[in-house]
Amino acid sequence: MKVAVVKYNAGNVQSVIYALERLGVEPIHTDDHDLIRAADKVIFPGQGEASSAMAYLRAQRLDQLLKHLEQPFLGICIGLQLMCEHSEEGDTPCLGIFDLKVKRFPTPPESYKIPHMGWNSLKEHKGPLTQGLSDPYLYYVHSYYAELGGDTVGITDYILPFSGALQKNNYYAVQAHPEKSSTDGQKILTNFLAL
Amino acid sequence: MLTKRIVPCLDIKEGRTVKGVNFVDLRDAGDPVELAAIYSATGADELVFLDITATVEKRKTLVDLVTRVAQKINIPFTVGGGISSIDDVSALLNAGADKVSINSAAVKDPQLINRLAATFGSQCIVIAIDSRKIQGKHIVHTHGGRKPTHLETIAWAQEVQDRGAGEILLTSMDHDGTKAGFANKLTALLSTKLTIPLIASGGGGTIDHFKRVFTDGKADAALAASIFHFKEIEILDLKKELQEAAIPMRL
């Protein structure tokens, strides 16, 4: 199986690559259009800042490519956010795969911290990505969130309920880092690879 | 619900764990990767590697270690100890570390925090603060807690947050190694004042100490070393008891 991990200016891609290797996959880390188009699965990972990430994707014309793919596609963390319509981070128009807005968490009430950092449960989850899991605990690190909408397939609650998982056709996304989320996260990656 | 985190800390020198560990089931007790794998499998929420190597080869051995850990471990981990430049941080993050912890270098050059946050994002920049009480005041110390600075702990914590730190690792040098409980008052003072997460360290010796650092101390995470290494407390037992005490835990 050919798995492409999209190469762009987002940090900590190495953890995703190692997680895939632990599952017996040798992913290719690339921004090459032909290699991405030819892959059986595409993973869009990352950590970073929305406006500079989108600027890079546009410069490489990856924005057009990524939203017209047909194979299973998985966005992780900022990957999920960039798949939405717009992000408040840097007032950035994003890929628009999901018709959703990404907002900054409101000023937290006492005892809440920002970033939302640590293990939180994914609830009301459905669809193939979380098959075999029951309210899994996953590792989150983020200060912006995607609002709830018709494509929401899992809800995470922190300060307010937001989209912890999204799906539209072949496009899947999770706000947490499955590559860092122990056995539950590994199950999500296994489910994705089995699509 | 976001859970509180239990964080074992491993002291590393030249790629090996320093303090003795009491894991009979380990083939090689000095191998941090093997120890990390066991912690990861037995309920640790996160790991911290504190490197005390003081040789010119330091960067290379640490990057090698981070690579081996990242290949094997599927929970987040932080690396700290003598990290002082954008290049250091870049090498460690690229090797697969999730966060880096900066201590003395941030005191020496506070602007470094701004530069690191702007380059890598706040979420991976942990500022470690070693605090000791001197004449009734909480004073920031460097060099493993030996050298007092002119900084007061609470003002410094506020400053590092304003400069872009994503998390604070607070060690009370007065409590560290005592197993008499965490510095709950200071931890609570900082945790309520700050809007970024706080890891409390120093003094954890019993399950009740952990209970209190989350309730009285309002910590987001608690770190300890030898009590886990010597199996005085099993992480899973600890987390079960904390959960029963209504402290949210990932089980």
Domain range summary for chain A, segments of one domain joined by +: 3-193
Output the six-digit token pair for A14.
């190495």
Determine the distance from the C-alpha atom of residue B66 to the mean position of all C-alpha atoms in its chain, rounded to a whole number: 16
Test B75 with A139 for CB contact under 8 angstroms: yes
Residue type, B66: V
Residues in chain B with CB shorter than 8 Å from the CB of A180 are 74-76, 98
**pLDDT digits (tens), chain A, 195 positions:** 999 999 987 767 899 999 999 999 999 999 999 999 999 999 999 777 889 899 999 999 999 999 999 999 999 999 999 999 999 999 999 999 999 999 999 987 777 899 999 999 999 999 999 999 999 999 999 999 999 999 999 999 999 999 999 999 999 999 999 999 999 999 999 999 999
Confidence grade of residue B14 (pLDDT, cut at 50, 70, 90): confident
Catalytic residue ranges of A:
77, 177, 179
Eight-state DSSP code of residue B4:
P
ipTM of predicted assembly, 2 dp = 0.92
**Mean per-residue pLDDT of chain B:** 92
Test A108 with B123 for CB contact under 8 angstroms: no
For residue B7, the chain A residue with the least C-alpha distance is A118
Distance of alpha carbon B78 from alpha carbon A169, whole angstroms: 37
Residue type, A109: P
* Shortest Cα distance, chain B CAs vs residue A175, angstroms: 14
Distance of alpha carbon A29 from alpha carbon A20, whole angstroms: 12
Task: Tell me the CATH number for domain A3-193.
Answer: 3.40.50.880
**Which burial class, exposed, middle or buried, applies to A71 when counting CB atoms under 10 A from its CB (0-12, 13-18, 19+)?**
middle
Q: Does A85 touch chain B (CB under 8 A)?
A: no
**Strand ranges inside chain B, DSSP E:** 5-13, 16-17, 47-51, 77-80, 99-102, 125-134, 137-142, 147-152, 167-172, 198-201, 221-224
For residues B202 and B176, the answer to whether their CB atoms sit within 8 Å is yes
What is the total residue count of chain B?
Answer: 251
Q: What strands, in cross-sheet order, belong to the sheet with A41-44?
A: A28-30, A3-6, A41-44, A73-76, A171-174, A160-168, A152-158, A116-123, A137-142
Taken in order of first residue, the domains within chain B and their CATH numbers are 5-244 (3.20.20.70)
Catalytic residue ranges of B:
11, 130
Test B93 with A12 for CB contact under 8 angstroms: yes
Residue B25's pLDDT is 55
Residue type, B239: K
Distance of alpha carbon B47 from alpha carbon B39, whole angstroms: 8
Contacting residues for B35 by C-beta, under 8 A, at least 6 apart? B10, B17, B21, B23, B26, B29, B229
Mean pLDDT of B70-74: 95
Residue A64's pLDDT is 96
Q: Does A181 touch chain B (CB under 8 A)?
A: yes
Q: Does B243 touch chain A (CB under 8 A)?
A: no
